[in-house]
């Protein structure tokens, strides 16, 4: 779809075009009467510009205008021919971005009519640049001088086959602030077709790009050109062109100094690299679609070495969600999975007074602790599958107490960032997990024995001691402190976030926190964990 400016031009085009035709015909032709073929050529030009050009059918527009020029022969006025060349130059510069060819078309137009100008509605930065260069070539006064390209470029003379070709240039200090974009194209010895070449900023005034080694697999000529643009895609300067590109000889062996970026070593042949990185330090110094591997910019489709297997040893305390009323009553012990133990770890079998102590406020309580080993495998991109196994301790123990010390867990993980498993650095991750585990949380509670049930002489007096033994044959003190355990699980599901920091490529520190819920005895659990992780 055409842009707003193009759309506005379409609406104004018929009137402006008719006026331009009248004026150009009147003043550009040596005679005021137009030859017979002018009307036909004008119709073709109008169709090419108002239909094909505005609909971005640039090939079709160029084809129609060239056919009209050929058909004109001596039957069109010079003014009409000038307008056809102006239209052709506009299509070549504004549509096809072929500035050199556009310049040649504008030169022909100005030779026929020195007063000919592109339509202001179609005079993009590229059109204006090519037109000004045509005027400069013919030494016709210009309102915008066209100077030499404000760049300093050291052209590579030659390079070995199957070796990346570094290209570098600098922009003059008085112009560097105006640069908004640098683009280029190259044609390697392998295909011969021009391919976009992306430049990156190097230093304060430098720009660099690298033609990959796969594009120079055989001897021949590497061709490239560069365009430096400012605001609104205004062309500031060029290095070479599509018709007159910079040429680098690609040979089996070279005698001159190998090309390189300033401050970098010259690249080695792709098939014979060894040692530390010397051409690129990371992916940012490679062209689009390339990655930095062993110091060489290579195609990203090449598989990069990742550490696919990770073993992690962790320690994690459980903080269980705890609350309860009359937790050591018979109902609390059986229905709510509480276990109350005396000081000697024997199980409490007494009869607490209802509503007197024996309560736990809502909150998280430190409970069981776990040591586990985990294995994870990278399955695709940043996703992992893992299995964790270990044991738990610090749970309830004693007479008649059942505690499961085994921990078994499966998990799915995702690590954030590009190349998360390639080595050194920080690797954030998230995971979902589930498995088999029991969570025991302990608090101290005080109980007061029911004076009637325990046979106290004066049940109302808390100092009156019990006389009747509990079911396990013990006479309970009227008041005592107990350890009350909430036993939850033995299944669980959880979600977590963490970070792995690898100071070495295959050794790192593992930190994470998870939140989950147990079942069929339900409670919430938060568990921070720390450990060491090893990749291979």
**Cβ-defined contacts of 272-281 (< 8 Å, 24+):** 279/164, 279/166, 279/210, 280/210
Average pLDDT in the 312-339 region?
A: 86
Are 117 and 62 in contact by the 8 Å Cβ rule? The answer is no
Strand ranges (DSSP E) for 179-308? 181-187, 194-198, 200-202, 206-211, 220-229, 235-239, 246-251, 290-293, 296-299
Q: What percent of the chain has a predicted confidence (pLDDT) above 70? A: 85
Mark whether 451 and 519 lie in a shared domain.
yes
Mark whether 322 and 428 lie in a shared domain.
yes
Q: Is residue 447 part of a domain?
A: yes
Q: In terms of residue numbers, what domain contains 212?
A: 151-299
Are 120 and 131 in contact by the 8 Å Cβ rule? The answer is no
Mark whether 324 and 239 lie in a shared domain.
no
| CATH code (residue 120) | 1.25.40.10
Q: Is the pLDDT of residue 529 over 90?
A: yes
Give how many domains the chain has, as a whole number.
3
Average pLDDT in the 343-366 region?
A: 86
pTM reported for the whole predicted model? 0.45
Q: Is the pLDDT of residue 413 over 80?
A: yes
Report the C-alpha gap between 210 and 264 in whole angstroms.
13
Q: Is residue 304 part of a domain?
A: no
Q: Is the pLDDT of residue 252 over 60?
A: yes
Are 93 and 124 in contact by the 8 Å Cβ rule? The answer is yes
pLDDT for res 141: 60
Average pLDDT in the 383-403 region?
A: 90
Report the C-alpha gap between 165 and 190 in whole angstroms.
14
Closest CA to 439 of 495, 364, 340, 346: 364
Report the C-alpha gap between 305 and 336 in whole angstroms.
53
pLDDT for res 286: 66
Q: Is residue 20 part of a domain?
A: yes
Report the C-alpha gap between 315 and 373 in whole angstroms.
9
Mark whether 122 and 192 lie in a shared domain.
no
Mark whether 290 and 329 lie in a shared domain.
no
Mark whether 119 and 164 lie in a shared domain.
no
Q: Is residue 146 part of a domain?
A: no
pLDDT for res 404: 92
Instruction: Report the first-to-last Cα separation within the chain, whole angstroms.
Output: 52
Mark whether 161 and 295 lie in a shared domain.
yes
Mark whether 247 and 342 lie in a shared domain.
no
| Residue 11's pLDDT band (cuts 50, 70, 90) | very low
Q: Is residue 436 part of a domain?
A: yes
SS3 189: coil
Q: Is the pLDDT of residue 9 over 50?
A: no
Q: Is residue 188 part of a domain?
A: yes
Single residue among 115, 137, 159 that ends a domain in this structure: 137
Mark whether 351 and 240 lie in a shared domain.
no
pLDDT for res 299: 58
Are 434 and 491 in contact by the 8 Å Cβ rule? The answer is yes
- Which positions ≥6 away from 242 have C-beta within 8 Å? 98, 100, 185, 194, 225
| Residue 94's pLDDT band (cuts 50, 70, 90) | confident
Are 53 and 118 in contact by the 8 Å Cβ rule? The answer is no
Give the Å distances, CA to CA, from 472 to 259, 352, 400, 469. Answer: 92, 15, 11, 8
Mark whether 159 and 284 lie in a shared domain.
yes
| CATH code (residue 246) | 2.60.40.10
Average pLDDT in the 58-80 region?
A: 89
The token pair at 230 is 């400012």
More confident residue, 95 or 373: 373
| Residue 432 neighbours by CB distance under 10 Å | 15
Report the C-alpha gap between 130 and 145 in whole angstroms.
12
Q: Is residue 346 part of a domain?
A: yes
Mark whether 277 and 321 lie in a shared domain.
no
Single residue among 249, 270, 299 that ends a domain in this structure: 299
Structure confidence by residue, pLDDT tens digits, 218-245: 899 999 999 988 888 888 888 888 888 8
Report the C-alpha gap between 242 and 305 in whole angstroms.
39
Single residue among 299, 329, 349 that ends a domain in this structure: 299
Q: Is the pLDDT of residue 133 over 80?
A: yes
Q: Is residue 345 part of a domain?
A: yes
Q: Is the pLDDT of residue 146 over 70?
A: no
Structure confidence by residue, pLDDT tens digits, 154-205: 788 899 998 999 999 988 888 888 888 898 999 998 777 888 988 988 888 8
Mark whether 281 and 385 lie in a shared domain.
no
Longest Cα separation, the chain = 139
């Amino acid at each position: 779809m055409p842009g707003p400016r193009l759309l506005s031009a379409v609406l104004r085009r018929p009137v402006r075009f008719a006026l331009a035709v009248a004026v150009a015909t009147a003043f550009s032709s040596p005679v005021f009467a137009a030859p017979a073929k002018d009307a036909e050529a004008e119709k073709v030009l109008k169709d090419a510009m108002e239909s094909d050009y505005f609909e971005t059918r640039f090939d079709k527009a160029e084809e129609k205008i060239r056919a009209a020029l050929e058909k004109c022969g001596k039957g069109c006025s010079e003014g009409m021919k000038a307008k056809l060349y102006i239209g052709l130059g506009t299509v070549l510069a504004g549509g096809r971005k072929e500035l050199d060819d556009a310049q040649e078309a504008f030169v022909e137009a100005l030779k026929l009519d020195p007063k000919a100008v592109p339509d202001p509605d179609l005079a993009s930065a590229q059109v204006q640049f090519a037109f000004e260069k045509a005027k400069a070539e013919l030494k016709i006064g210009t309102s915008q001088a066209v100077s030499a390209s404000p760049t300093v470029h050291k052209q590579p003379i030659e390079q070995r086959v199957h070796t990346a070709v570094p290209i570098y240039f600098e922009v003059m200090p008085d112009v560097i602030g105006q640069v908004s974009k640098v683009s280029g194209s190259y044609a390697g010895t392998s295909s011969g077709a021009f391919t976009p070449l992306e430049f990156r900023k190097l230093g304060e005034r430098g720009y660099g790009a690298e033609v990959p080694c796969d594009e120079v697999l055989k001897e021949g000529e590497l061709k490239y050109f560069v365009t430096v643009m400012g605001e609104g895609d205004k062309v500031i300067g060029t290095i070479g062109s599509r018709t007159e590109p910079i040429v680098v000889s690609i040979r089996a062996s070279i005698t001159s100094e190998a090309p390189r970026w300033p401050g970098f070593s010259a690249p080695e042949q792709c098939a014979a690299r060894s040692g530390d990185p010397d051409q690129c330090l990371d992916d940012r110094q490679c062209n689009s679609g390339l990655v930095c591997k062993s110091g060489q910019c290579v195609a990203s489709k090449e598989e990069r070495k990742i550490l696919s297997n990770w073993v992690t040893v962790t320690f994690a305390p459980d903080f269980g969600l705890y609350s309860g009323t009359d937790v050591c009553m018979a109902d609390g012990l059986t229905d709510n999975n509480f276990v109350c133990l005396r000081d000697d770890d024997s199980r409490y079998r007494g009869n607490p007074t209802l509503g007197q102590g024996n309560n736990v406020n809502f909150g998280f309580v430190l409970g069981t602790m776990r040591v586990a080993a985990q294995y994870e495998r990278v399955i695709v991109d940043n996703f992992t599958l893992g299995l964790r196994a270990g044991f738990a301790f610090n749970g309830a123990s004693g007479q008649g107490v059942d505690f499961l010390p085994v921990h078994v867990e499966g998990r799915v993980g995702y690590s954030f960032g590009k190349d998360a498993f390639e080595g050194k650095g920080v690797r954030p991750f998230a995971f979902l997990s589930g498995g088999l585990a029991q969570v025991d949380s302990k608090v101290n509670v005080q109980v007061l024995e029911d004076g009637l049930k325990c046979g106290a002489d004066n049940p109302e007096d808390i100092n009156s001691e019990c006389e009747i033994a509990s079911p396990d044959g013990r006479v309970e003190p009227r008041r005592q402190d107990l350890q009350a355990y909430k036993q939850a699980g033995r299944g669980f599901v959880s979600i977590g976030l963490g970070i792995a920091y690898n100071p070495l490529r295959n050794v790192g520190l593992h930190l994470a926190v998870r939140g989950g819920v147990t079942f069929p005895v339900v409670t919430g659990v938060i568990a921070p964990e720390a450990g060491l992780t090893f990749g291979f």
